[in-house]
Amino acid sequence: MTDSGRHVPRRPVHFGPDAIEAHGGSLPGPAEITEIAHQTAAVLVGTGRAAADPTVTARLVALVDDLGLSTVADLWAGRPARSLPGALWRLYALREWVRRQPVEASRQYAAGIRFTDVAHAVAGVAEPPGPDEVRALADEILTGVFAGDLAVALERAAAFAAVIAAGRADLAHDRDDVDPGGAGALTTSAAAMQRTGEDLVASARLWRADELD
């Protein structure tokens, strides 16, 4: 519970049989789904930031551990990248990838450092950037959403994504002759990660302008 009396959401809104019955036997429409996504994102961030409680913050950082990535995806993944639910989805998805594949994440990050000195400094990964270090960074970033400067947290995530994108592109180049298919997949994922970083930077600007909702 926060100091404003609001409870930390333990589960996002779920439309089971009772909820469907309440909607006349049908699932909510697109407008309702959009409203739910934005409201839950705002409540989650607002509750976490108002609580100023490390225990609450830790629970929110580990939200996907409790709910599962697919549940969070159902709630927020469909929203625009440059919105609060869209930005939160990207932060949680990034943390989950690092948590599940820390060795690969650290390998890609290490490969990208020499091309992205500034982004590496902004991301703030401890040296040397091994599996434990990238996992710690992913948690630090989400901690900053609830117990720090949210715009800075978004910028750190964007910087991390930029380094990963550069690392994937470099690793793809190295594999191009021996594994064209694998190299192509890495190149595609590098471009996707680069877009994620750009969207997070834009979201940070919107947050500072009080326009991220």
**Which tens digit of pLDDT belongs to each residue from 22-76?**
444 456 678 888 999 999 999 999 999 999 899 999 999 999 999 999 999 999 9
pTM of the model: 0.86
| Residue ranges in the chain whose pLDDT is less than 70 | 1-28
The confidence score (pLDDT) of residue 31 equals 87
Using an 8 Å Cβ cutoff, are 65 and 56 in contact? no
The confidence score (pLDDT) of residue 106 equals 98
The confidence score (pLDDT) of residue 26 equals 52
What are the distances in angstroms from CA 165 to CA 95, 99, 101, 107?
A: 15, 18, 16, 12
The confidence score (pLDDT) of residue 28 equals 64
Burial class, 172, CB count within 10 angstroms (exposed 0-12 / middle 13-18 / buried 19+): buried
Residue the block writes with tokens 């549940």: 71
Q: Closest by alpha carbon to 152, among 101, 120, 200?
A: 200
The confidence score (pLDDT) of residue 48 equals 94
The confidence score (pLDDT) of residue 1 equals 34
Residues 6+ apart with CB under 8 A from 103: 131
Instruction: Give me the phi and psi of 172, to 5 degrees please.
Output: -65, -40
The confidence score (pLDDT) of residue 29 equals 74
CB-CB neighbours of 117 under 10 Å: 10
| CA pair distance 160, 180, nearest whole angstrom | 26
CB-CB neighbours of 51 under 10 Å: 21
